[in-house]
Amino acid sequence: MLAVGPGGAGRILQSDVLSALTAVGPMASPEKMTAWLKAANAPTEIKKELQEYEERGGTYQFQEDDQKYWLDEFICDLFGLLLFGPGFIAAHKALLQPAHPNPYKIDLEYPTHPPYAARQKFLTQALRILKWDQPISGQKYKSLLHAERAFLSYIKNDPYAPWGWIFSDFQVRKAIVGIKVVLSKYGQLAYKHPSSETLSALVRRLTERVPPILAEIDAAGNPKVSKTDISHILYSGWVFWIGRNHFVNGNEDALHFFDTNRLCERALLQQQAINMSLNPKRKDR
């Protein structure tokens, strides 16, 4: 549980993150949310949903609980990105986009979540601010570079109306700083890009149909293993899957999503064993 005392995570979230996201704009108050909902530039889908609601039950107005629920969702999305990096957006999109054929739908009867379009815009905005929207790999790894570009194109794709922009860059930047401060209080939790060499090694193992970890056998036949962040394993999995066409040789079939996911899952288990072997904990009796 996060501490809420002086200097604790709860205080930082309140003073630095929530205050940034509610300083101005649609999330400043339920009244501002309602004005945003009814804005002239709202998508046709929103106007239709609002009209249908008001034909059934009168004038619509967001409540304080709605504001809290939406802020929780935006902050959780940002936490996910800062913990797991760009791979989080890929998972977020792969899971949520198919479930929202109408990306602007709010469900005004129970508006517990922001529309998908607004969440995707928020994440791609944060990705750009963090400067994680460019490839890690370079020309040295041409196939990997093409695959990574395909992956970044996938997660950055934002075809939605400008109405979906909720926060300014200044607000998002301040919220990012606040969450990073929280994460710093609990060790090295914040995501950092892997090196291009690490990413190449992890993706290469996937092309060989083995779990993406850093493990080799040296000339003497001894195993050589290294620590690898969970987020790097996930990043390599998504880059490989989205850019899989760049790794297929001749008539070789690319792995299915299930198989790629299973290899990454096994890598997480194997990595845990590697970490335990590299840093065994002594139990005093």
pLDDT digits (tens, 9 = 90+) for 228-250: 999 999 999 999 999 999 987 64
**Mean pLDDT (whole number) for 46-68:** 94
Query: pLDDT grade, residue 285 (50/70/90)?
Result: very low
Residue 183 pLDDT > 70: yes
Contact 9, 182 (CB under 8 A): yes
Cβ proximity of 217 and 223 under 8 Å: yes
Average pLDDT (99-123) is: 96
Q: How much of the chain, in percent, has pLDDT values that exceed 70?
A: 94
The whole-model pTM stands at: 0.90
The answer to whether 237 and 261 are in contact (CB under 8 A) is yes
Identity (one letter) of the amino acid at 194?
A: P
Whether the predicted pLDDT of 282 surpasses 50: yes
Question: What pLDDT is stored for residue 249 in this prediction?
Answer: 65
Give residue-wise pLDDT tens across range 248-258.
764 456 688 99
Strands 223-225 and 215-217: antiparallel
The predicted pLDDT at position 152 comes to: 98
Tell me how far apart the alpha carbons of residues 15 and 18 are, in angstroms, rounded to a whole number: 6
Q: Does residue 254 contact residue 245 with C-beta atoms inside 8 Å?
A: yes
- The DSSP-derived string for the chain is ----STTSHHHHIIIIIIHHHTSSSGGG-HHHHHHHHT-TTS-HHHHHHHHHHHHHHS-----HHHHHHHHHHHHHHHHHHHHHTHHHHHHHHHHHTTT-SSTT---TTS--S--HHHHHHHHHHHHHHTT-SS-S--GGGHHHHHHHHHHHHHHH---S-GGG--S-HHHHHHHHHHHHHHHHTTSS-S--PPPHHHHHHHHHHHHTTS----EEE-TTS-EEE----HHHHHHHHHHHHHTGGGS--TTPPPPPHHHHHHHHHHHHHHHHHHHHHHSPPP---
pLDDT value of position 130: 98
Looking up tokens 């990073």 gives 180
pLDDT of residue 7: 53
Contact (CB, 8 A) for 212 and 267: yes
- Residue the block writes with tokens 């979230």: 13
Across 37-49, average pLDDT: 97
Inter-residue contact 228 to 213 (CB < 8 Å): yes
pLDDT reported for residue 3? 43
Q: Percent of the chain having pLDDT more than 90?
A: 77
pLDDT band at 186 (very low <50, low <70, confident <90, very high): confident
Asked whether the predicted pLDDT for residue 216 surpasses 90, the reply is no
Taking the C-alpha atoms of residue 84 and residue 198, their distance in angstroms, rounded to an integer, is 16
pLDDT of residue 223 exceeding 90, the answer is: no
Residues in the chain, how many?
A: 285
